[in-house]
Amino acid sequence: MSYCLNPTCPNPENLAYSDRCHSCGSSLLLRDRYRVVKALGQGGFGATFVARDESLPGEPSCVIKQLRPSGTAPHVLQMARELFEREAVTLGRIGNHPQVPRLLDYFEDREHFYLVQEYISGLTLQQEVKAQGAISEAGVKQFLTEIIPLLQYIHDQKVIHRDIKPANLIRRAQDSRLVLIDFGAVKNQVSQTAAMQSGQTALTAYAIGTPGFAPPEQMAMRPVYSSDIYAAGITCIYLLTGKSPKDLDYNPTTGEMMWEHLVTISPHLSGVLRKMLEVSVRNRYQNAEEVLRALEMEPYLNSLAQSLVTQPVGGIKERGSSHPVDSGVLQNNTSGSYSSAGVAQVAAAIRARRAKIAEATGATSHRLVAAKVASYGSNNTEATQGSKSQMIRQLNLDGLRNAYTKGRRDFASHNLSLLNLQGIDLSGTNFHSAILERANLQGANLFNSDFGRASLNRTILRDANLSKAYLSHADLEGADLRGADLSYAYLNNANLRGANLCGANLTGAKVSGEQLTLAKTNWMTVRPNGKRGLL
């Protein structure tokens, strides 16, 4: 089909390869090369189409955005033209990123302005949630690890997206990476200025963004970089609940969205999301780097939150060490609470101390904690060891199976070493920072589970379903992953030294070539690009 771009055409659909519109007579070949085949969407200030570039071999698909200024006065057209060209330069610059569509062309034709961009094949996050339902905490963590670095890149280019939402995030079919589309900055800039000069309130409303996803300062036409962080946080709530912001209740006093009673997630992730969603810009994360730092603190926050108020200032020590953590990072607080900055500094100090201890003793921090747990004894009950700050807990097979059957999905920081869990169903479970060394998980269903920073050293995962599992920073050294389904798993920064990936399926997995060179593969291994062969 050939689609007519004339905004006033009463019947824009035409037969394929027609030269002129049968309804209004307009040319159907834009700039003698682009043939529009279908409309994607239309708003108050423009429209988006899929087209074929007939000037190139194979006639590759592209996306054409048509900007339609609402007025025809010379000053309105000139303003639109200048801002359009400035924005085209910006899009060309930020398009040099694998998660942003490339700008292919831009031009003016009959007082309409056009942007031609790379076509991204795949489903939006909105389409995925509508088809498959809400996703787990592990899925949201994976989303954040993909989108927050992208926001950091965009903001470094002095660009605010202004319309982060599930409908503007496409999971590219080729490699399953999230791609951010529809920057819309041209429309925002043009419509803001036009509104000031012409008083057209419809354009002003259009410039705000998407209601519910846009924070208050953006609704007041004063967006900042953290406005995108707020919108990313709202997107996380949509992913966790499957509900649009308009379907959620708001606190009438504070204006905050009420969502926590609808989800079951770790206290740490809940805290990160709360700060991303602060109504006040002052209290929100100021930039993407702060969000990334908060996410990296996860393995330490649970124990810190429960132990800081019970420890005297200057007396907090790393477990298994005689060296105190620098007491200067804490401020005495008679209310029994500490600032997030103090917690962050303590977490950093503990990380540094653990690294030194591990280096000196030749043992990983996971094994130090495991030895500490073993010294307390019980192998057949779930116990909190010794003090309120000891968060590594031990479970036996029956305890794990019974808890899972009763609906429990959070086993973060548990010791499950040496357990025989062959063929067990533990899909969608949180094992963040857990110890599963030498456990037998052959044939287990671990779909969409969170093993971030978990110790899986020499664990048997043969033929296990680890599709979409979150394994960032996990220790998989020497693990048996023969025939395992790791499709679309997130393995960034995981230790794969000596891991056996013979016959494993890594289609769409997030893993680097450097990581895979440390693992064992064979001709039956399916690489991330979907092809079989040695890596």
Residue 369: predicted pLDDT? 40
Describe the crossing of helices 267-276 and 288-296 by its angle, rounded to 10 degrees.
170
Instruction: Give the residue extent of every domain in the chain.
Output: 2-118, 122-294, 297-361, 395-535
The radius of gyration of the chain's CA atoms, rounded to the nearest angstrom, is: 27
Residues with catalytic roles: 163
Q: Which residue has the higher pLDDT, 197 or 465?
A: 465
Residue 380: predicted pLDDT? 37
Q: Which residue has the higher pLDDT, 186 or 249?
A: 249
Residue 233 to residue 148: CA distance in whole angstroms: 10
For residue 394, name the pLDDT band (cuts at 50, 70, 90): confident
- One of 1.10.10.10, 1.10.510.10, 3.40.50.1000, 3.65.10.10 is the CATH number of 122-294, namely 1.10.510.10
- Phi first, then psi, for residue 68 (nearest 5°) are -120, 95
- Region 129-135 average pLDDT: 94
Of the CA atoms within 13 Å of residue 159, those in its CB half-sphere come to: 25
What DSSP string describes 245-286?
A: GGGSEE-TTT--EE-GGG----HHHHHHHHHHT-SSGGGS--
Q: Which two tokens stand for residue 3?
A: 């689609």
Residue 352: predicted pLDDT? 55
Give exposure, 233-270, as e/b (b: 16+ Cβ within 10 Å).
bbbbbbbbbeebbeebeeeeeeeebebeeebebbebbe
- 66-70, 188-192, 347-351, 448-452 — which is least confidently predicted? 188-192
- Region 517-522 average pLDDT: 91
For residue 184, name the pLDDT band (cuts at 50, 70, 90): low
Question: For the segment 419-458, what is each residue's pLDDT rounded down to a tens digit?
Answer: 999 999 999 898 988 999 999 999 999 998 989 899 999 9
- 41-50, 188-197, 389-398 — which is least confidently predicted? 188-197
Say if residue 282's pLDDT is above 90.
yes
Q: Which residue has the higher pLDDT, 177 or 348?
A: 177
- Within 8 A by CB and 6+ apart from 386, the residues are 376
User: Does 395-535 carry CATH code 2.60.120.20?
Assistant: no
- Region 378-397 average pLDDT: 48
Question: For the segment 466-491, what is each residue's pLDDT rounded down to a tens digit?
Answer: 999 999 999 999 999 999 999 999 99
Question: For the segment 234-280, what is each residue's pLDDT rounded down to a tens digit?
Answer: 999 999 999 999 999 988 887 788 999 999 999 999 999 999 999 99
Say if residue 339's pLDDT is above 90.
no
Residue 72: predicted pLDDT? 65
Question: Annotation-wise, does 65 bind a ligand?
Answer: yes
CA dihedral (214, 216, 222, 223) positive or negative: negative
Residue 129: predicted pLDDT? 95
Residue 448 to residue 116: CA distance in whole angstroms: 37
Describe the crossing of helices 125-132 and 225-241 by its angle, rounded to 10 degrees.
20
Say if residue 88's pLDDT is above 70.
yes
Q: Which residue has the higher pLDDT, 461 or 343?
A: 461
Say if residue 127's pLDDT is above 90.
yes
Describe the crossing of helices 365-376 and 340-361 by its angle, rounded to 10 degrees.
90
Residue 437 to residue 299: CA distance in whole angstroms: 18
Residue 441: predicted pLDDT? 95
Class of domain 2-118 (CATH, top level): alpha beta
- In whole numbers, what is the pLDDT of the chain averaged over residues? 78
